[in-house]
Amino acid sequence: MAGGRYHHGDLRAALLDSATTALRTRGVDALSLRELARDIGVSHAAPRRHFKDKRALLNALALRGFERLTAELDAAAATEGPFRRRLTALARAYVCFAVHDAELLELMFVRKHAPDASEELVAAGHRLGTSMLAVIVDGQRSGDVHAGGADGIGLSVFAGLHGFASLAASGMVPEEGSDAALDILLGELLNGIAPR
């Protein structure tokens, strides 16, 4: 919505939409409530009705990112077929999110959040983890993943996947070879979590 004009409706959503666009194009450091207000055509004081400061805006963006990523991973995990296909769909969705919204992913996982928002953000992070863990638990039920602590197995898979996604988002994994590199990573992860 950056560059568009706000008319009537949900100002908070319009600000978050505009902030998401600005985050993608200009980065987190360039975000300002005053500039967002100008971008959507409202008074510079209007955003303060919804966000007391920039930190509150960033927390809301991170929360929205967790919600969107969780929904995308849930949709990928619902892929029909064997465990490997479901894990691959989940991994590709995660990497796609990371590459297309690298600044948002960094905001979600790396940046410090205001103490008064951390409980809500931690809960959103847990929902994301639960979504990913469900695929591991299903793999254990189908015999594709070894028995044992699903939390530890899930954390190992997530750490590998998040590390790969971060590398891909930063350009360290060439885009033309990223699918093949992800397949190699998944093969190694699958070998590591296979029944013993």
Q: Kindly provide the residue ranges of all beta strands, DSSP E only, lying in 79-146, ordered along the sequence.
A: none
Q: What is the distance between the alpha carbons of residues 155 and 151, in angstroms, rounded to a whole number?
A: 6
* Per-residue pLDDT tens digits for 129-143: 999 999 999 999 999
Q: What average pLDDT does this structure show over 33-48?
A: 90
* Domain limits, the chain: 1-51, 61-193
Supply the mean pLDDT for the chain: 90
* Per-residue pLDDT tens digits for 51-99: 999 988 999 999 999 999 999 999 999 999 999 999 999 999 999 999 9
CATH topology for 1-51 is Arc Repressor Mutant, subunit A (1.10.10)
pLDDT score for 153:
97
Cα dihedral value 93, 96, 100, 106, nearest 10: 70
Q: What is the distance between the alpha carbons of residues 142 and 165, in angstroms, rounded to a whole number?
A: 27
Say whether pLDDT at 167 is over 60.
yes
Q: What distance lies between CA 20 and its chain's CA centroid?
A: 13
Q: What is the distance between the alpha carbons of residues 7 and 133, in angstroms, rounded to a whole number?
A: 42
Q: What is the distance between the alpha carbons of residues 133 and 45, in angstroms, rounded to a whole number?
A: 43
Chosen CATH of 61-193 out of 1.10.3370.10, 1.10.357.10, 1.10.10.2120, 1.10.10.10: 1.10.357.10
- Write the CB contacts of 152 (distance below 8 Å, at least 6 apart in sequence): none
- Write the CB contacts of 83 (distance below 8 Å, at least 6 apart in sequence): 135, 138, 139, 142, 144, 145
Residue bearing the bigger pLDDT, 38 or 118:
38
pLDDT score for 8:
53
Cβ–Cβ under 8 Å, residues 21 and 12: no
State pTM to two decimals.
0.88
% of the chain residues with pLDDT over 70: 91
Q: What is the distance between the alpha carbons of residues 128 and 133, in angstroms, rounded to a whole number?
A: 9
The set of long-range contacts for 48-57, using a CB threshold of 8 Å and a minimum separation of 24, is 49/11, 50/11, 50/12, 50/15, 51/15, 55/113, 55/114, 55/117, 56/114, 56/117, 57/15, 57/16, 57/19, 57/31, 57/33
CB 51: neighbour CB atoms within 10 A? 20
